[in-house]
Structure 1
Amino acid sequence: MSYGAIEQEEIFAGGEWLTPHAAARIELESPVDFRRTGGAVDGDERDVDTAVRAAREAFDHGPWPRMSPEERAGWLERLADEIERRADATVSLVTTEIGQPVSIARPWAGIRPIAHLRFYAQLLRRPDAVEEVRENAMRPGTTIVQHEPLGVAALIVPWNHPQASTTLKLAPALAAGSTVVVKPAPESPLDISNMAEASTAIGMPPGVINIVTGGRETGRALVQHPGVDKVGFTGSSAAGRDIAAQAGAQLKPATLELGGKSAAILLGDADLDAVMGALRVSSFENTGQTCALMARVLVPRAAHDEVVDRLVALARDLRVGDPSDPATELGPLVSRRIHDRVSGMVSRAAADGATLLAGDSDLPDTGYYVAPTIVTGAVPSSEIAQEEVFGPVVSVFAYDDLDDAVALANNSRYGLAGSVFGDPDEALSVARRVRTGSIGINGYKPDLNTPYGGYGDSGLGREFAIEGLRNFQEVKSIWR
């Protein structure tokens, strides 16, 4: 399925689609063929205020935060069921909107969002989800530790996995009893409407989910609004710093999931066939437009050339093309801005003395395509080694011993993800020394029941698991 131009003319607040105050529009262009695919409201401060006031009313006076955990769990499951009924159309819309290959959009937009909602519905049924009882340490008796709904949460989500990134915040926020205002990225303002439509279809209380589309100024107005109690953001480290400063000035808690420059460390006994199978996904999925990808591959010096040859063969074997074709693995980059940024970084790496390999795949005649590229010989302090590329570009570095490998892995201001390939016991020993929020042994597959987030410039706080729920709860101790 493909879509003609879609015009999103309204904001969603208080359970209704409302005419916005702003006259400005976001114009959308297909990254495949440059045709106009639609437009959306570029919300202003008054539109943000409308949405926040609706969320505030729903939290302060509505039933949502006053429901039992079991009641909210039931609503989350009904929302998941309704979104599942719309999954095929949502997947197709995401592919049209951002050029994400349908093979990637199907799990990320059609399966994971539903799993997130159902996971948090089940988590709500845990005895410790909203209340714990602890023995006192300094006097007889016990203390009830009560986890209460926090309030109105601003959820600012990215374009690269718009549906899953939304529900990773939306599901725990709703489970906690908070109400939300969602602001999608300006590159992907259309697909979020499925959340609004699904919530309306099941009769969810008005004001629990509210949506304002727009750009950076819309997000700034949302973060600064005095009616917002919590900010959840996924995006660049630069934007994260700005949001942290705004939230901090108001003593407003913020959870920030930011960029990455993750390293895959290959030990001397690594099974290279298995490594290449893993890196096909963990280094190139979504055309390299995922923050947790393994953008650096660290290899023993003696194995460097063989690994490079295999990576070059892998890069050339990746199928680049029409994202609506189920066989396509890599599609276009999302926009001219991202295309020019990635191309510029690759060109500067070559000018700085690095060697570019592969990068010669056949590409469609139109579209923001970049051929998958392997970079060798870059200086570890160079731009290509230190900055997040957000495209199908992988850099390879040789190391002399394990201390050198760990030092290279940690030579980054980021610390989001990582992986170590080789004997599981030795790989675990190395993994413990890498400063990163999550790391895999012989692969990288984060689990929803474990905390996820980063060190350093990769963010603040953790998502997933019960930690995600706690992001949207206040804590009260009742001493007895």
Structure 2
Amino acid sequence: MSAFEYAPAPESRSIVKLQPSYGLFIDGEFTDGAGSFKTISPASEEVLAEIAEASTADVDRAVKAARRAYTDVWGSMPGRERAKYLFRIARIIAERSRELAVLESLNNGKPIKESRDVDVPLAAAHFFYYAGWADKLPYAGFGADPRPLGVAGQVIPWNFPLLMLAWKIAPALAAGNTVVLKPAETTPLTALLFAEICQQADLPPGVVNIVTGAGETGAALVNHPDVDKVAFTGSTEVGRIIARAVAGTNKKVTLELGGKAANIVFDDAAIDQAVEGIVNGIFFNQGHVCCAGSRLLVQESVADQLLESLKRRMATLRVGDPLDKNTDVGAINSAEQLSRIKALAEIGSAEGAERWSPACELPERGFWFAPTIFTGVSQAHRIAREEIFGPVLSVLTFRTPGEAIEKANNTPYGLSAGIWSEKGSRILAVADQLRAGVVWANTFNKFDPTSPFGGYKESGYGREGGRHGLEAYLAG
């Protein structure tokens, strides 16, 4: 039987009104920055807009605006009143969901069905959830009189621009803090649209400030002496720099860093269900996921059967235009990231692993990488140790649960893991021995605003999401 052919089903760009240029969002208004840079669509390399670049002086203006708003309005506002603003923001995100989804896919390169069905609904859900906590903080388990910290400096990555913004801003505002947020330099557009949403919701000026720029802008924010709390999601390398920068200060810090998650498939797992979880675990968002299941550990007795099924499923993945509703795998976010993925894939081949990709035609313009698996991988291979952050899966085998646990834990990271088995007792026993912050059972990459997320070892410290996510923004 031949595979189904899908006619193109493009989402319209017309719902998004792109401005030629965007300023910084400080004290409730858009304002010029010291410099500027261009942001592009990774699928076509088309320039989307000119973006203001914040200098150290611009960051200082934003922090001062946040401090004024905290002192004069937000920090002393009753929780039930703060909740109204968060509810309003959540409703506007839901109302403008199609616009946000299209803009996210344009600027990030991820498929529209992921932006539409995952990123934007979850972003709204986080604001709804933390709005519910705003007037209940004394009952959250952090003491009878928990207080906000003050000004939070937040730096987010390019893989989930809007969702990471929601993860950071929603609990900070619910707890009574004000915010200066720096989005990634390659994906600033949904953060700047969120600034418009703050205006639409009549959020008091200075409560949320957004400064755009590259690493120097982020460093100015992290190092600013009047920032009380630093929250960062991104690479382990930058996380180390931030940890050193705040050491010896009174700043509270949460770091959500890299990962090299193991997806463990036992011989009694439902193979077809496991294959869907494996595909979702590594090819969702082009593998640009810190908790991606980039290492597949499969029990030796079912390895051949699972690999045959996995290759058959990968052959059906559609790579191409992120705005096509049929697309499964979109564009790599930047030329720099594509170069890193290619380099590590070449190293995998050079070290003796066997590389396989389904036949797929990649677009001529933009940044693209075909879904790829490596078999014959050992623990010594760099592709099994280093975070590739792309659609590349390393396949290893094991014979006993003890061997699976040892291999899964043999990594400097500890963010997430997946277990596939029909036996609940086995799942619980293995999960208890995995050194990972999140362990999924017979599923992968499932998120909920009520559930905490975070890692161990080089995957960072602190938790985001759930009741635990409030703790990082409160002084007991």
Q: Which of the five TM-score ranges fits, normalised by the shorter chain?
A: over 0.9
TM-score (norm 2): 0.94
**Is the contact between residue 300 and residue 398 of structure 2 (CA under 8 Å) also seen in structure 1?**
yes
Distance 2:82 2:300 in 1: 55
Match of 2:457 in 1: 456
Change (3 A) 1:241 1:129: farther
The residue correspondences of 1:168-187 to structure 2 (distance < 5 A) are 168-187=167-186
Distance 1:69 1:131 in 2: 16
Distance 1:68 1:289 in 2: 39
**Letter in structure 2 aligned against 1:465:** G
Distance 2:232 2:428 in 1: 31
TM-score (norm 1): 0.93
Out of 454-463 and 26-35, give the one that drifted further: 26-35
Distance 1:129 1:42 in 2: 41
Per-residue deviation, residues 170-220 of structure 1 (Å, max 9, x unmatched): 000000000000100001112111221111122111110001000000000
Per-residue deviation, residues 401-425 of structure 1 (Å, max 9, x unmatched): 1111000100111111111111122
Distance 1:238 1:26 in 2: 24
Distance 1:254 1:364 in 2: 42
Q: Choose from 124, 128, 147 the match for 1:114.
A: 124
Distance 2:192 2:95 in 1: 14
Instruction: Indicate the SS of the match to 2:202.
Output: coil
Instruction: Indicate the SS of the match to 2:294.
Output: strand
Instruction: Give the C-alpha shift of residue 131 in structure 1.
Output: 7.4
Instruction: Give the C-alpha shift of residue 130 in structure 1.
Output: 6.3
Match of 2:436 in 1: 436
**Is the contact between residue 138 and residue 145 of structure 2 (CA under 8 Å) also seen in structure 1?**
no
Match of 1:26 in 2: 37
Distance 1:127 1:162 in 2: 27
Match of 1:101 in 2: 111
Instruction: Give the C-alpha shift of residue 127 in structure 1.
Output: 6.2
Instruction: Indicate the SS of the match to 1:366.
Output: coil
Out of 10-19 and 27-36, give the one that drifted further: 27-36
Change (3 A) 1:5 1:194: closer
Instruction: Indicate the SS of the match to 1:349.
Output: helix
Gaps of 5+ in 1: 133-143, 476-480
Distance 2:417 2:213 in 1: 33
Instruction: Indicate the SS of the match to 2:405.
Output: helix
Change (3 A) 1:8 1:330: same
Distance 2:141 2:291 in 1: 33
Instruction: Indicate the SS of the match to 1:418.
Output: strand
Match of 1:11 in 2: 24
Task: Provide the aligned length of Structure 1 versus Structure 2.
Answer: 461
Match of 1:466 in 2: 467
Instruction: Give the C-alpha shift of residue 321 in structure 1.
Output: 1.1
Distance 1:66 1:131 in 2: 21
The residue correspondences of 1:124-135 to structure 2 (distance < 5 A) are 124-126=134-136, 128-129=138-139
Instruction: Give the C-alpha shift of residue 300 in structure 1.
Output: 1.2
Per-residue deviation, residues 40-83 of structure 1 (Å, max 9, x unmatched): 112110110010000011112x2211111111111110111122
The residue correspondences of 1:196-215 to structure 2 (distance < 5 A) are 196-215=195-214
**Is the contact between residue 122 and residue 448 of structure 2 (CA under 8 Å) also seen in structure 1?**
no
Per-residue deviation, residues 139-158 of structure 1 (Å, max 9, x unmatched): xxxxx631101100011111
Match of 1:278 in 2: 277
Distance 2:211 2:139 in 1: 30
Distance 2:356 2:265 in 1: 20
Change (3 A) 1:212 1:228: same
The residue correspondences of 1:48-59 to structure 2 (distance < 5 A) are 48-59=59-70
**Is the contact between residue 32 and residue 52 of structure 2 (CA under 8 Å) also seen in structure 1?**
no
Instruction: Give the C-alpha shift of residue 251 in structure 1.
Output: 3.1
Match of 1:137 in 2: none
Instruction: Give the C-alpha shift of residue 129 in structure 1.
Output: 4.3
Change (3 A) 1:197 1:282: same
Distance 2:380 2:322 in 1: 35
Out of 269-278 and 351-360, give the one that drifted further: 351-360
Distance 1:98 1:257 in 2: 20
Out of 108-117 and 444-453, give the one that drifted further: 444-453
CA RMSD, Structure 1 to Structure 2 (Å): 1.6
**Is the contact between residue 288 and residue 390 of structure 1 (CA under 8 Å) also seen in structure 2?**
yes
Instruction: Give the C-alpha shift of residue 4 in structure 1.
Output: 8.1
**Letter in structure 1 aligned against 2:127:** L
1:195 aligns with 2:208: no
**Is the contact between residue 58 and residue 208 of structure 1 (CA under 8 Å) also seen in structure 2?**
yes
Q: Choose from 49, 53, 63 the match for 2:73.
A: 63
Per-residue deviation, residues 318-339 of structure 1 (Å, max 9, x unmatched): 1111111001010110111111
Distance 1:319 1:223 in 2: 40
The residue correspondences of 1:311-390 to structure 2 (distance < 5 A) are 311-390=310-389
Instruction: Indicate the SS of the match to 1:31.
Output: coil
Instruction: Give the C-alpha shift of residue 125 in structure 1.
Output: 4.2
**Letter in structure 2 aligned against 1:56:** R
Distance 2:292 2:123 in 1: 20
Distance 1:246 1:69 in 2: 33
Instruction: Give the C-alpha shift of residue 459 in structure 1.
Output: 0.8
Gaps of 5+ in 2: 1-11
Instruction: Indicate the SS of the match to 1:113.
Output: helix
Identity rate, percent: 37
Stretches of 4+ aligned residues off by more than 6 angstroms: none
Distance 2:290 2:168 in 1: 17
**Is the contact between residue 230 and residue 251 of structure 2 (CA under 8 Å) also seen in structure 1?**
yes
Distance 2:74 2:17 in 1: 37
Distance 1:472 1:184 in 2: 19
Instruction: Give the C-alpha shift of residue 9 in structure 1.
Output: 3.7
Instruction: Indicate the SS of the match to 1:285.
Output: helix
Match of 1:136 in 2: none
The residue correspondences of 1:224-243 to structure 2 (distance < 5 A) are 224-243=223-242
**Is the contact between residue 315 and residue 374 of structure 1 (CA under 8 Å) also seen in structure 2?**
no
Change (3 A) 1:7 1:213: farther
Distance 2:361 2:109 in 1: 18
